[in-house]
Amino acid sequence: MVEVDLNHIYKKYPNNDKYSVNDFDLHIKDKEFIVFVGPSGCGKSTTLRMVAGLEDISEGTLEIDHKVMNDTAPKDRNIAMVFQNYALYPHMSIYDNMAFGLKLRHYNKEEIDKRVKHAAKILGLEDYLDKKPGELSGGQRQRVALGRAIVRDAPIFLMDEPLSNLDAKLRVSMRAEIAKLHQDLGTTTIYVTHDQTEAMTLADRVVVMSVGKVEQIGTPLEVYNNPKNMFVAGFIGSPQMNFFNVHYKDNRISDGKGLDIEIPEGKAKMLEEKGYNDKDLVFGIRPEDIHAEEAFLETWPNAVVKSEVVVSELLGATIQLYQKVDGTEFVAIVNARDYHTPGDQVEMGFDVNKAHFFDKDTTEAIVN
Ligand SMILES: Nc1ncnc2c1ncn2[C@@H]1O[C@H](COP(=O)(O)OP(=O)(O)OP(=O)(O)O)[C@@H](O)[C@H]1O
């Protein structure tokens, strides 16, 4: 049973006049896979390094299994860490790279051998134990780095962008391996990435961060379906959610140009209850909630927008249609059958049941 509590943690580097992490507050459950996600510089690595003990905590407490760890040395925190650059010793064999941490901790030879071979088996590295890191591919090296964490049998794994040095294809397969590893070992894990797809596919819960601040904590589906604000709505999802500045009045939203659509009664009622009738607000809709099928256009004629295709990206089964309506750009993901070329005038049906609305000043979600 391993729980980790970050209680109102702050970080201020001495040479930096701003806080790099502000009021980070999170209870991590036993066996949970937590992903910190956000753009570069938002404070993900700093937070992870505070958990590892590689950075001091300026304010707040870190507890592991309800024991305060702020002043505990990294080696005594019972944590195994995997870094982006693998941090392998080039002159040592794969076996010795994996055994190194255990030797430092004075494990006996038999125990080290048992653990290294067990980890090598889990990771499919059995045939590489005599090789040097330079003889391995990027994916295999990353597996060795994972192996070093596994042999430690530590109850907590910290991973800092472990896949970002790999090419796209390898990243996807290593992502699946990490997910499987977590299923098999059940180690409480904190994983840092700027890649929202990695966050969505791996996490039990994601912590979405922007400059030094936690924006939202939730399951991948919660943050996807119920983003707390425009930052989260725009960061999670690819291509990102479309935003339109609109005016809402009596069940309709209009941007005063080509977008003028009716919204469902339920959502309209919620907007009005919150005092947004006859007000400017931001309308958000995900690319997959914009449709090109005839049947959709005929069923929902009051939610159709006439637009012009700007760029058409065929992805196989789907196409990303970048379009503009009177100068405002948006993107739809539609079936490849609805292929169009730039310049085509098209009609798109907006699934307004999936509409999101945000306050234009605070950027907070009003209705999801
Ligand atoms: N040693 C340091 N001294 C001063 N400021 C620092 C130091 N390390 C990081 N920072 C600042 O703290 C903020 C958070 O940095 P951090 O590396 O945690 O972000 P990140 O989200 O992990 O970004 P990235 O994905 O680029 O690694 C940044 O503004 C950064 O400039």
- Quote the pLDDT of residue 191: 96
Does residue 60's CB lie within 6 angstroms of at least one atom of ligand 1? no
- Quote the pLDDT of residue 170: 80
- Quote the pLDDT of residue 210: 95
Q: How far apart are CA 243 and CA 284, in angstroms?
A: 4
Instruction: Provide the ipTM.
Output: 0.96
Ligand 1 atom 7 nearest Cα: 13
Over residues 248-264, the pLDDT tens digits come to 999 999 998 889 999 99
Ligand 1 atom 6 nearest Cα: 13
H or E stretch at 80: strand 79-82
CA of 45 to the centre of ligand 1 (A): 7
- Quote the pLDDT of residue 99: 94
Does residue 18's CB lie within 6 angstroms of at least one atom of ligand 1? no
Ligand 1 atom 26 nearest Cα: 40
- Quote the pLDDT of residue 139: 83
| Alpha helices (runs of H) in the chain, residue ranges in sequence order | 44-52, 94-104, 109-123, 138-152, 168-185, 196-202, 220-225, 230-235, 265-273, 294-299
Does residue 208's CB lie within 6 angstroms of at least one atom of ligand 1? no
Provide φ and ψ at 253, rounded to 5°.
-120, 145
Does residue 13's CB lie within 6 angstroms of at least one atom of ligand 1? yes
CA of 13 to the centre of ligand 1 (A): 9
- Quote the pLDDT of residue 361: 97
- Quote the pLDDT of residue 75: 84
Ligand 1 atom 29 nearest Cα: 41
> What's the one-letter identity of residue 208?
V
Q: Please, what are the domains in the chain?
A: 4-235 (3.40.50.300), 242-367 (2.40.50.100)
CA of 4 to the centre of ligand 1 (A): 22
From the CA of 38, give the closest atom in ligand 1.
Answer: 21
CA of 18 to the centre of ligand 1 (A): 11
Residue from 20, 163, 194 whose mutation best tests the ligand 1 pocket (most atoms within 8 A of CB) = 20
Q: In what order do the strands lie in the sheet with 156-160?
A: 67-68, 59-64, 4-11, 21-28, 213-218, 205-210, 33-37, 188-193, 156-160, 79-82
Does residue 44's CB lie within 6 angstroms of at least one atom of ligand 1? yes
CA of 63 to the centre of ligand 1 (A): 23
- Quote the pLDDT of residue 160: 92
CA of 354 to the centre of ligand 1 (A): 36
Ligand 1 atom 8 nearest Cα: 46
From the CA of 55, give the closest atom in ligand 1.
Answer: 1
Query: Low-confidence residues of the chain, pLDDT below 70?
Result: none
- Quote the pLDDT of residue 166: 78
From the CA of 209, give the closest atom in ligand 1.
Answer: 21
CA distances from 2 to 13, 78, 85, 187 (A): 29, 10, 27, 9
CA of 157 to the centre of ligand 1 (A): 21
> What's the one-letter identity of residue 179?
A
Q: Are 234 and 261 in contact (CB under 8 A)?
A: no
pTM over 0.95: no
Ligand 1 atom 24 nearest Cα: 40
Ligand 1 atom 30 nearest Cα: 41
For helices 109-123 and 138-152, give the axis angle rounded to 10 degrees: 140
Q: How far apart are CA 186 and CA 189, in angstroms?
A: 9
Does residue 15's CB lie within 6 angstroms of at least one atom of ligand 1? yes
Q: How far apart are CA 367 and CA 358, in angstroms?
A: 7
Q: Return the residue matching tokens 């994996």.
A: 98
CA of 71 to the centre of ligand 1 (A): 21
Structure tokens belonging to residue 6: 């970050």
Buried b (16+ CB within 10 A) or exposed e, 39-66: eeebbbbbbbbbbbbebebeebebebee
